[in-house]
Chain A
Amino acid sequence: MTQTEPVTAQIRMWWQRVEIKRIVWIWLGITVVLAIFALIVPARVMGSPASPTMRAVESTMTIFSVAAAPVMALVLSVAVYSLTGWRSRGSEPPIGDGPPIRGSGRVTATWMVVSSVLTMFVLIWGLGEMQSLSAEASAPNAMVVNVTGQQWVWTFSYPQNGNVESDQLYLPVNRPVVFHVTSKDVIHSFWVVEMGIKVDANPGEVTKTGVVPDTLGTFVVRCAELCGLLHAHMETQAHVVSSTDFAAWITAQESRAS
C-alpha cells in the first residue's frame, strides 16, 4: 500500500469526487448526442412506412435506440475518461499499481438490477407489440393472397377473386390481407420491405403473415433467403391501390385469363 492511497482515506462521498463529476458530464454529453441520433437517423434510414406494422417497427427501433443511448454512453464515458484521467502516459511501465478494488457488492447489484429492468422493458415491449400486430393481421374480413416462391420469381394468386394469378402484387388499401406463403423448390423468404413483414416460403409447408397496407403507392417485394443463382434478382413490385382500382384490376385479369 505504499504507492497507492488507501481506499478508506476518502473522506468525501463518492459522488463528490472530481473524477465522478467529470464522468457524469461526459456521460450526459454522449447520451444527449446518441439520443438525438437515435431519434432522427434509424427510422429515417428505414424509409417511409407503408403499413401500421412498419410504423410499429420504426417506433420500436427509435425507442430501443433511445433506451440504449445511456447504456452505450456509460461504457464510452468510463472508457473515454480512463484514457485521459487514469492513463499512465508513455511507453514506460506505469509507476505503481492501481487501488486493489476486488469488486463491490453495491455496484454489482445496481448493475444487475438496472440491466434486468432494461431487459424486462425490452421484453414486455416486444411481447405487447407482437400481440397487437397479430390481432391486426388476423382480422375476420381479411383478403387471402396465396404467395408462391420459385427460383427466381414470385407468383400471387387471389383465391377469393376467381384465382386470378399475377407476378406482381396488387392490394386494396386499408383492407387486412393474409398471405399464405409456400415454395415450389428451395426456401425463399417473402419480404415486403416498406410494410415490415417477412415470412419464409418453405417447400411443402404453408406459412402465414398478415398486414394492413395503408399507403397508396408501389413498394418492393424481395426474397430475403439465399435461393440460388439469381437470388439478387428475385424482386417484384407491390402496388397498393384504391378498392375501385383493385376491383378493376381483378376484372381485367379475369378477362385476360378467359
Chain B
Amino acid sequence: MRRLNVVTAVAGGLGLALPGWAIARHFLEENDFGPDQVTVITMVCWAIGFMTGIGAFNGPIGWLRGHDLTPEDELFLAGKDQGIRRYFRFTTDHKVVGIQYLALTMVLFGVGGTMAMLIRTNLISPNSNFLSPQEYNAIVGLHGLIMIIATIIMVTGPFGNFIMPMMIGARDMAFPRLNALSLWLIVAAVPVLLSATFLGGIPTGWVGYAPLADQAPPGMDAYMMTIIIFAISSAVAGANITTTVLTMRARGMTWNRTPIFVYGVVASVGLAIPAFPMFMASQVMLGLDRTMGGRFYVASGGGSPWLYANLFWLMGHPEVYVILIPAMAALMELTAVFSRKPLFSFNTAVLGIVGISVLSVMVWAHHMYASGWAPNLNGAFMLTTEMISIPTGMLFLVILGTIWRGRIWTRLPMMATYAMLWNFIIGGITGLYLSDVPLDYALHGSMFVTAHFHYTLMGAGLTGAIGALAFWFPKMTGRMLNERFGFISFWLVQIGFNVTFIGMFAVGLAGQPRRVFTYNNLLATGNFVSTIGAYAIGIGMLFLMYAVISSWRHGSLAPSNPWGSKTLEWTVPNPIPLENFTVLPVVTSDAYGYGEEPFEPIEGPTRRDELEPAHVGSAADEQSTEGARP
C-alpha cells in the first residue's frame, strides 16, 4: 500500500487497458459496433486499473479480508511527513486534495484554453483554413466539455476541499477516503477525455446531441465514459461535502453563523447530486445505442432525440448554477473582508442562493424553445426562467450593499468582485433577452448565446474563482500571490474578455450561428476583433499562471491572516498542521463583525525575517483569538 502513487496507477491502468483492448479487439473486431465496443471496454479497463493502481480499493478489499486500517496506516494515508510526494498519492488530507484539485483545474484550463485559442485563430478570417472542418468540430466539442468540467470543479474542488472544512472548524472532511476517491476518479477521467483528440474528437459540441452523437466517431465514447466517471465522482464528492457541513461544523456554529461560502459550496454540490445522474443516464443510453444497436435516440427505431435533449438539459441548467453559485459565494465572502463591513443582509444572501437553486431545476426547457418539443410549455418555462432574475438580483443587492460606504481595499481579490459586477450584469441582461420566447427564436443557436454564457460562466464564474484564488492563496500555500503579475493578468484578461465577447454578441445578433468554421464576409470585422481579444485573454492567463507558480515557490511568506478576515480558516497558523486545529474552536458569533468591536490593525504581508512565531489558532472562541493577535 505504501508504494502506490500516480505512477503505479498509470501502470495499473495501462496494465489492464492494453490486454483488455487486445482481447476485445480479437473477439469483437468483426461486429458492426466493433470499434465502439473495443473503445468502451478499453476505457473501462483503464479506469478500473488506474483506480486499483492508486489504491482506491485497498480499504474495501481490506474489509473483505477482515482487516481495518491501523492508526499508522491512517496517518500515512493522510500524507504525514511525506513532503511533495503526498500530492501524487491517494492522500486523504483535505488540504492535499484541495491542492490536487487546484493543479488539476489549472491543467484543464490550460488545455481547454489552448483549444479556445485554436478555435479563435481559425475564425480570425472567414476562410483562414487554419483547421480542417473535422479538426474544428472536434476541438469545439472538446473545448466545451473540458471547460465545463474545469469550471464545475474550479471552486468546490480547490476551495471547497481546502478551505471549507477549516472555515467550519473541522479537522478534515467527514469521509476523507471518499474525498480522495472523488479526486482520483476525475484524474482517471482526464486521459479518457483527452484521448478523444486521437479518436476523432467530439464533433457534436459539448451538448453531444443525439442522433448526431449516434453517428460520431469513437471520440464520442470518450465523452460518454468521461461523463459516467465524472458523475460518480460528483456524487461521491456531493455526499461527502454535504455530510461534512451538516455534521462537522464547530460548536456554536449555527446556520446563521455559518459563512456564506459554505452555503455556496453546499448549494453547488446539492444541485449536482440530482443533476449528474440525469446526464449519466443519458450517456448510458447513448452507450447502448452506440455499442449494442439500441434505439433510444433514433427515430427510425422508435426513439426520440427529445429524450436526450430533456435529460441533457435537466442536468445542463442546474449545472450552470453548480458553477456560478460557489463563485458568487466566494466573492461575497471576500467582499465583506475587503469592504471591512458585515455582509449586507446575510438572510437575503442565503435566500438568494436557495431561490436560485430551487428555480434552476425548473427551467431546463428554455434551452429547447425552438426544438419543437413542447411549444405550449414555452410560456411556463419563460415564467420560471425570468423568475430566476429575482434571487440573482438579491445576490447583487448583497454585494452592492456590502460595498456601500465600506472601506474599500482594492487588492486583487476585491478587483475580481468589481469585474464580476460588470460581467455578470451583462451576462444577466443578455440572459433575459434569451429567456423571451420570440427573441430566443431569433437568437437561439447563434454566437449571441455563446457570448451570453461566456459572460456568466467565465466573466462571473471564472473571475470569481480567480478572486477566490487570490484571496485564499496565502492560506493554501503560505505565501503571498505576486500582485504585480496578478494585476497585469487581471487587466489583460478582463479587457480581452470584454473585447472578445462583445464582438461575439455583435456577430451573433447579425446572424452568425454557433460552431461554424467559416462565416459570411460581412461578419469578418466582429470575428477579427473577437480573436484579438481572445489572444489578450490567453496572454493574461499565462501571466496568472506564472504569478501562481512563481509565488508558490518564491513568494514572500504570508502571515496567518494577511487580510484581517474573521472566518475560522485564518485562525489556523501557517504552515497548517495536519489536522488544522489542536483544540477545536467554539463559535459565538458570525464571521462578519467588522466595525462592531474595537479596531485592530491588520498585519501586512511580512517578509521572512519579520515573521513572528506562529501562534496556535485554537483559542476557546473566535473573539479571543482575534483579541490575542498582537
Residues of A within 8 A of B (CB): 1-4, 19, 42, 45-47, 53-54, 56-57, 60-61, 64-65, 68, 71-72, 75-76, 78-79, 82-83, 86-88, 91-104, 107-108, 111-112, 115-116, 118-119, 122-123, 125-127, 129-130, 133, 181, 185-187, 189, 191, 193-194, 196-200, 202-205, 207-209, 220, 222-233
Contact = CB atoms under 8 A, between A and B. Distances in A.
B442 A198 contact: yes
A46 B345 CA distance: 41
B304 A204 contact: yes
Nearest to B593: A100
A3 to B, nearest CB: 5
A40 B314 CA distance: 37
B299 interface: yes
A204 B299 CA distance: 5
B239 to A, nearest CB: 34
18 contacts: A45-B506, A57-B439, A64-B439, A75-B425, A98-B595, A102-B342, A102-B343, A108-B348, A119-B386, A129-B438, A186-B305, A196-B441, A202-B372, A203-B305, A205-B299, A205-B304, A229-B133, A232-B519
Contacts of B400: 75, 78-79
B564 A93 contact: yes
Given A57-B439, A61-B439, A187-B211, A42 B404 contact: no
Interface in B298-312: 298-300, 304-306
A46 B438 contact: no
Given A57-B438, A94-B340, 6 more contacts: A94-B409, A100-B595, A130-B437, A133-B438, A208-B372, A227-B212
A200 B601 CA distance: 62
Interface string B256-291: 000000000000000000000000000000000000
Instruction: Give 10 nearest A-B pairs by CB, closest first.
Output: A204-B299, A207-B372, A103-B345, A224-B445, A97-B595, A232-B516, A94-B407, A98-B341, A93-B602, A98-B406
A71 B390 contact: no
B432 A2 contact: no
Q: How large is the interface on B (under 10, 10 to 19, 20 to 34, 35 or more residues)?
A: 35 or more
Given A202-B306, A204-B304, A186 B215 contact: yes
B243 interface: no
Contacts of A116: 390
B511 interface: yes
Contacts of B626: none
A233 B515 CA distance: 11
B386 A54 contact: no
Contacts of B515: 226, 231
B410 interface: yes
A189 B593 contact: no
A223 B513 CA distance: 8
B341 A229 contact: no
A64 B595 contact: no
A220 B520 CA distance: 11
B341 A107 contact: no
A91 B411 contact: yes
B606 interface: no
Contacts, number: 281
Interface in B371-403: 371-372, 378-379, 382-383, 386-387, 389-390, 393-394, 396-397, 400-401, 403
A141 B213 CA distance: 40
Chain A at the B interface: SS class: mixed
A100 B596 contact: yes
Interface string B61-85: 0000000000000000000000000
Interface in B598-622: 598-599, 601-602, 604
Interface in B347-365: 347-348
Given A123-B386, A204-B299, A226-B209, A102 B370 contact: no
B130 interface: no
Contact of A71 (B387, B429, B519): B429
Contact of A99 (B405, B422, B426, B517): B405
A100 B422 CA distance: 26
A115 B390 contact: yes
Given A45-B506, A91-B411, A115-B389, A127 B379 contact: yes
A88 B410 CA distance: 8
B25 interface: no
B121 to A, nearest CB: 16
A241 B263 CA distance: 60
Contacts of A115: 389-390, 393
B408 A86 contact: yes
B454 interface: no
A198 B211 contact: no
A122 B421 CA distance: 22
B249 interface: no
B393 A111 contact: yes
Nearest to B594: A97
A194 B496 CA distance: 30
A232 B594 CA distance: 56
Contacts of B345: 102-104, 108
B514 interface: yes
B407 A98 contact: yes
Given A91-B411, A126-B437, A204-B299, A222 B513 contact: yes
Contacts of A125: 436
Interface in B194-210: 203-205, 209
B34 to A, nearest CB: 22
B584 interface: no
Contacts of A82: 403-404, 406, 408
A121 to B, nearest CB: 10
A83 B410 contact: yes
B52 interface: no
Given A122-B436, A198-B445, A102 B344 contact: yes
